[in-house]
Amino acid sequence: MLSKIHHVGVVVRDLEQAYGFWRDVLGLPVMVVKTVVDQDVTAALLKVGESEIELLQPLSDRSGIGKFLAKRGEGLHHLCFETDDVDAELAATKAKGIRVIDEKPRLGLAGMICFLHPAATRGVLVEYAQPLAEERH
Amino acid sequence: METRRIDHVVVVTPDAEGAAATFRRHFELAPSAPVVGSPALRIGGARIAFAHPADGSALAAILARSGEGMAEICLEVGSLPEAEASLRTAGIGFTVEAKGAARALAVDPGAAHGVRLTLIEGRAA
């Protein structure tokens, strides 16, 4: 079952510069900053109520995030729903015939995650996330 | 500025009812009160609104440029006057817009890293 918006992903050119608005002006606290090497991205989660804003800075123009930045510039990237069972959620999604990107959940910044294909969801890139027990905020 | 929560995100689409039905079916989300006349679904304490934007609007330009997709995020702040003061102090441009019966601050997307971001005080259904 999907319980809430876990985060909204935003692609930025420079994380430190982005803090100047999202952290310093809006007042959102930075909860986690991590580099995900296999995705060539450094990401920060900033808390806003029960949800978070995920700022994504690509580390190369070859990564998915880097290509997005080169093609579309900074901006909204994806919408992540939280679930307490990402395996079951993904299986149920596939059983409905909904096209997915990840056939199996994988480890990401928000825990165990998977992405659905935006062609199936009205152009919205949707992610499911099951936070790891020690990383629930 | 005290920013409290995500009130809603906006998905722009040429078929708002159809897009809402897609999300309701795919994700089993319950309908909520409309957002400025647009159908919306509830997830946790937030909503997803599906907007077929009026011709000439900023959202219509996004739909024309990028197609269907997530186009706006609306955050609830503790005090709109305080938010306005914080934006002015930081030198960030914004416009005051009507969000239903309430006022909203639409932040300059250039300052918000390409994000169309609106700030509201309390619910603006």
**Which of B6, B19, B92 is the closest to A5 by Cβ?**
B6
Cα A30 from Cα B58, distance rounded (Å): 30
User: Tell me, what's the pLDDT at A136?
Assistant: 59
User: Tell me, what's the pLDDT at A137?
Assistant: 57
All residue ranges of chain B with pLDDT < 70 are 101, 123-125
Q: Which residue has the higher pLDDT, B102 or A7?
A: A7
Q: CB B113 to CB A49 under 8 A? A: no
Q: CB A3 to CB B44 under 8 A? A: yes
Contacts with B27 from chain A: Cβ below 8 Å: 2, 81, 126
User: Tell me, what's the pLDDT at B114?
Assistant: 95
Q: Which residue has the higher pLDDT, B102 or A114?
A: A114
Cα A107 from Cα B4, distance rounded (Å): 28
List the domain boundaries for chain B: 3-121
User: Tell me, what's the pLDDT at B125?
Assistant: 40
ipTM, 2 decimals? 0.92
Q: Report how many Cβ contacts below 8 Å link chain A to chain B.
A: 120
User: Tell me, what's the pLDDT at B124?
Assistant: 43
Q: Average pLDDT over chain A, rounded to whole?
A: 94
User: Tell me, what's the pLDDT at B120?
Assistant: 94
User: Tell me, what's the pLDDT at A39?
Assistant: 83
Choose, out of A46, A76, A79, A99, the residue to mutate when testing the contact with B (most B CBs < 10 Å): A76
Q: Which residue has the higher pLDDT, A111 or A133?
A: A111
Residues of B with CB under 8 A from a CB of A: 1-6, 9, 11, 13, 19, 22-23, 25-29, 43-46, 48, 50, 66-73, 75-76, 86-87, 90, 92, 109, 111-116
The two tokens of residue B9 are: 């995100």
**Which of A21, A72, A122 is the closest to B68 by Cβ?**
A122
Map A73-113 to HEC letters: CCEEEEEEEEECCHHHHHHHHHHCCCCECCCCCEEECCEEE
Superfamily grouping for domain B3-121: 2,3-Dihydroxybiphenyl 1,2-Dioxygenase, domain 1 (3.10.180.10)
Domains of chain A as residue ranges with CATH: 2-135 (3.10.180.10)
- Tell me the pairing of strands B30-35 and A75-83: unpaired
User: Tell me, what's the pLDDT at B123?
Assistant: 52
A86 pLDDT tier (thresholds 50, 70, 90):
very high
